[in-house]
Amino acid sequence: MRALEPMPGVRVVGHADALDRLAFPGGVTVLRIAPDELIAVGMADGPTGYAILGEAETGFVGRWLDAGELAAVRRHVEWPLHDGLNQGLVAGVPARVWIGDDGRALLLVAGAYAHELEARL
Sites of contact with other proteins (CB under 8 A)? 6, 8, 11, 13-14, 36-37, 51-53, 55-59, 74-76, 78, 80, 89, 91-94, 110-117, 120
CB nearer to other proteins: give 95 or 105. 95
CB of 86 to other proteins, least distance (A): 14
Counting Cα atoms < 13 Å in the Cβ hemisphere of 22 gives 32
CB nearer to other proteins: give 69 or 116. 116
Closest CA to 108 of 63, 44, 55, 56: 63
Contact 42, 28 (CB under 8 A): yes
